[in-house]
Structure 1
């Protein structure tokens, strides 16, 4: 058993991790590692094992598929990366920019903003939005309206928020992909589920993927449930029966809403690694994976990641703060590489319940680590995923030149 797999086994025995699944492969389409262990739920009486076909809420790992779907719409002439989205999303920035909060009046200070928001901005997270749960000002704005962060069942209800900066001038983690998903629906005349099934899932032979697992009994029977560590991120893990990862959402949420098994998500990563022309043209693959941030926005992005320990936990993917990062439509780009972990230009992201994926074109490797553990991106679990990534790279990625501050 590889050392990284033993670490997962030890975490299960320590009751930190109920169950997990791992898959890694190369640019030739070979599966280099596959393993799974533990149980899919801590609900009383549940003993079903966590396997490669266990269905998980993949949360923000949905964003990669939404970006691919958006570029498919661009290729078909349905959308334009650099045109204003206001004709199809008329309410997207109706509140303007929030610049402060008047506690005496219990109301936000809002400034009108007329800069057009484009699809490129939505996918690059330079559109002005931030998730309300991450913004003290937006949390106050929600409370002043008698609402909680993430409230609502639709994209409009959840994501029609005041902007936190003028579009195109900074970077924040927010509802760009949810808005992009809604834009795809209105441009194509189909739900995001129908569009993705026709143009992403079916071409790749993927069946265990959906936004509505409870409508598919075969998937619902294999659905893992959320478990949570304590407030300090330590075990033992406990079942979290009241946790709703969609916070009441009932629509296809392009940023957070899909469900998939590890075995179903893995072919998507392999397709990205080989730049499969069944999904996108070579030019569109280049657009998907290239850094999208100008110098100002990249500086804002890196400052945002390091602005608090929670930001580093939720968004840093376990990378050192000293490593310069940027953003592509697909996810975070590690500009310099990290010795022993990934090559220069590797792309990676994850999902709220401590999930992670990566695609390293230089090394010719990709992988996904799945579980369903809160708090978000729990450090003890993300460290396991880093060990998995390092183990795969150490075994199969030798000979790839990695440039990093640590190695220079």
Structure 2
């Protein structure tokens, strides 16, 4: 039976020390729970008394924040505060202020730049076509940061982390970067509210999850006491996991980081994910949901995306989420879109995304099921951990088919 098979893979993973703890939940379009499992502990820190890892455990969800930020942008558009296709650079002068970096002079330790004033739109930010790339993924940006004595993706503000040189003319290519961090800042400037307050009043309170999700977990005593600590595997990525509670996933961040700053319980995120999957009108209109899930890239953009995902083993590990390399991919505001299916796993048009600590989600629109998996383990997007979640997804596929 599929459920017993999923039970065993996670039980074995906890017993081996590959992960300290896990919480996974899957459901269908009709509101039924197809599978749920929580086991293990949420901390290996000495003195924390091995708190259980369950659906109330609060985890850093990293880039799974991006989906909620995309929904927030579309809500701000509905409220007349934003235009997806207006140039936002005038309101955010630090965005792209350095121009486009085209190389790095090793002798002078200086970047080589081209000036650029191409309009940048919110659509580009959410589609990763704005010219931004994370500095920890880019050779030139990494060299530029090092020459300035800076640590990649560090500092308290979005501007500290993401006011980087662009790596291409906006709208011409695809790269994974801080577009959603900027998009969150754009929402704040346009609405006059923090992203925390905007999400709380529009999404969290209507869904009843306001006590289980936040950008500021240590400022809420109830959430703080339920926070999972990070754990890490050895330098070869082998178990057993050890305590890594000193790891700061925000690298000094104090802003609401729309691209990777949320902390949530699996229960709360599952509830939000289900509302989006079922297109709950409490969050967005039907037209906005169409925009959320619609592939955003033209033929050149799609080619650039697929080439980028395959350009190095690190890119593939971090961004493909274990989806086979021969599956053609597109990008929507919600996340990665599979242009073809794999029988027994996912359908054509399934939307996916994940976060650095090997947290993941999917929405299979054709088969009618969705789910999420929560862990707090490094190295990032560790293939053996992602493989566990793949088996979870395949098991849910089987369970879902069995109910029809």
Instruction: Give TM-score scaled by structure 2 length.
Output: 0.97
Alignment of 1:349-364 (within 5 A): 349-364=353-368
Q: What is the SS of the residue equivalent to 1:132?
A: coil
The counterpart of 1:213, out of the listed 201, 214, 217, is: 217
State the alpha-carbon separation in 1 of the partners of residues 271 and 381 from structure 2. Answer: 23
Aligned to 1:99: 102
Q: Residues of 1 paired with 2:381 and 2:4: CA distance?
A: 23
Residue of structure 1 in register with 2:53 after alignment: 50
- From 288, 294, 302, the counterpart of 1:284: 288
Q: Please, what is the CA RMSD of the aligned residues? A: 1.1
The answer to whether the aligner puts 1:12 opposite 2:43 as a matched pair is no
Unaligned runs of 5+ in 1: 401-408
CA contact (8 A) 1:233 1:379 kept: no
Between the aligned partners of 1:67 and 1:395, the Cα distance in structure 2 is: 30
Can you list the C-alpha shifts for 1:236-294, whole angstroms capped at 9, x where unaligned?
Answer: 11111321100010110000000000000001111111111111111110000010011
Offset at residue 399 of structure 1 (A): 9.7
- Residue 224 of structure 1 is matched in structure 2 by 228
Equivalent position SS for 1:5: helix
The aligned residue for residue 251 of structure 2 is: 247
Question: Per-residue CA shift, 1:80-121, capped at 9, x if unaligned?
Answer: 000001132121011110000011111000101121000000
Q: Secondary structure of the equivalent of 2:102?
A: strand
Provide structure 2 residue ranges, at least 5 long, that are not aligned to the other structure.
Answer: none
Q: Once the 2 structures are TM-superposed, how far is the Cα of residue 205 of structure 1 from its aligned partner?
A: 1.4
Return the match for 1:192 from 192, 195, 203: 195
Question: Cα 1:19–1:399, aligned 2, differ >3 Å: closer, same or farther?
Answer: closer
Q: Is the 8 A contact 1:318 1:383 kept in 2?
A: yes
Within 2, Cα distance between the matches of 1:120 and 1:230?
Answer: 40
Partners in 2 of 1:231 and 1:149 — Cα distance?
A: 21
Query: How many matched pairs?
Result: 400
| 1:342-400 deviation line (CA, Å, top 9, x unaligned) | 11101010111010000111111010000000111111100000000000001113699
2:167 pairs with 1:138? no
Partner of 2:93: 90
Asked whether the 8 Å contact 1:272–1:359 carries over to 2, the reply is no
Secondary structure of 2:206's aligned partner: coil
Match of 1:167 among 167, 170, 181: 170
Whether 1:314 aligns to 2:318 is: yes
**Which of 379, 385, 388 matches 1:384?**
388
| Deviation string, structure 1 residues 97-152 (Cα, Å, up to 9, x no partner) | 00000111110001011210000000000000000000010000001111010121
- d(CA) in 1 for partners of 2:60 and 2:89? 31
Instruction: Output the CA distance in 1 between the equivalents of 2:31 and 2:208.
Output: 14
Equivalent residues in 2 for 1:246-265, closer than 5 Å = 246-265=250-269
Q: 1:31 to 1:398 in 2, by over 3 A?
A: closer
> Which residue matches 1:109?
112
Q: Is the 8 A contact 1:72 1:279 kept in 2?
A: yes
Task: Name the SS of the counterpart of 2:37 in structure 1.
Answer: strand
Is 2:276 the partner of 1:272? Answer: yes
Match of 1:204 among 204, 207, 214: 207
Name the SS for the 1:343 alignment partner.
Answer: coil
Contact 2:69–2:183 at 8 Å: present in 1 too? yes
The alpha carbon displacement at 1:8 in A equals 0.7
The answer as to whether partners of 1:333 and 1:348 remain within 8 angstroms in 2 is yes
Hey, what's the Cα distance between the residues in 2 that align with 1:338 and 1:182?
37
Contact 2:55/2:265 (<8 A) preserved? yes
**One of 125, 130, 136 as aligned partner of 1:122:** 125
Residue 30 of structure 1: CA displacement?
1.5
Q: In the alignment, which residue of structure 2 is the partner of 1:404?
A: none
Q: Would you say the 8 A contact 1:365–1:397 is kept in 2?
A: no
Match of 2:38 in 1: 36
The aligned residue for residue 371 of structure 1 is 375
Q: Does the aligned pair in 2 maintain the 1:25–1:32 contact within 8 Å?
A: yes
Does the CA contact (< 8 Å) of 2:34 and 2:399 recur in 1? no
SS in 1 for 2:389: helix
1:35 positional shift: 1.1
2: CA distance between counterparts of 1:17 and 1:184? 36
| Partner Cα distance (1:398, 1:181) in 2 | 41
User: For 2:245 and 2:55, how far apart are their aligned partners in 1?
Assistant: 23
